[in-house]
C-alpha cells in the first residue's frame, strides 16, 4: 500500500487562532467541495474559502480523521465560531 502524500499546506483561521495542516490532494478536493461556494464559481481551483462550523467538523470527522481531527477539535471548539477561513499556503 502506497503512503499518503500530504503536499498541500492549508492554514485554518477562526476564533483568533491559526492552525496549519498538511493535506493530501484528495483531502484538499474534499475541503474545496465542503466549503461555501456559489453557483457558477470554479470551486475546484480555489486557493481560499470559508466553511460553516458544522461543515468543518464533518470534514475532519469523516474525510480526514485521525490526529488531524483531534488537533482541529482542540484548537477550534464547536460553539466558538460560526465560519472558519482556510487558505492554501505555498
Residue 17 lies in a domain: no
Where helices occur in the chain by DSSP H, the ranges are 25-34, 53-58, 66-75
Instruction: For the chain, give the longest Cα–Cα distance.
Output: 39
pTM of the full structure: 0.88
For 75-90, what is the mean pLDDT? Answer: 91
Residue 49 counted as domain residue:
yes
Q: What is the pLDDT of residue 44?
A: 85
Domain tally, the chain: 1
Is 14 part of a structural domain of the chain?
A: no
Residue 7 half-sphere exposure, CB side, CA atoms within 13 Å? Answer: 4
pLDDT at 90 over 80: no
Domain of residue 75, residue span: 24-37+44-89
Query: With 0-12 CB in 10 A as exposed, 13-18 as middle and 19+ as buried, what is 64?
Result: middle
Does residue 53 lie in a domain region?
Answer: yes
Q: What is the pLDDT of residues 7-66, one digit of tens each?
A: 899 999 998 999 999 999 999 999 999 999 888 888 888 899 999 999 999 999 888 877
Amino acid at each position: 500500500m502506497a503512503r499518503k502524500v500530504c503536499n498541500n499546506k492549508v492554514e485554518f483561521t477562526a476564533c483568533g487562532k491559526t492552525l496549519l495542516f498538511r493535506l493530501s490532494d484528495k483531502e484538499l478536493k474534499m475541503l474545496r467541495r465542503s466549503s461555501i461556494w456559489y453557483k457558477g464559481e470554479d470551486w475546484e481551483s480555489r486557493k481560499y474559502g470559508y466553511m460553516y462550523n458544522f461543515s468543518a467538523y464533518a470534514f475532519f470527522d469523516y474525510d480526514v480523521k485521525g490526529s488531524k481531527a483531534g488537533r482541529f477539535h482542540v484548537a477550534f471548539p464547536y460553539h466558538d465560531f460560526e465560519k472558519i477561513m482556510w487558505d492554501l499556503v505555498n
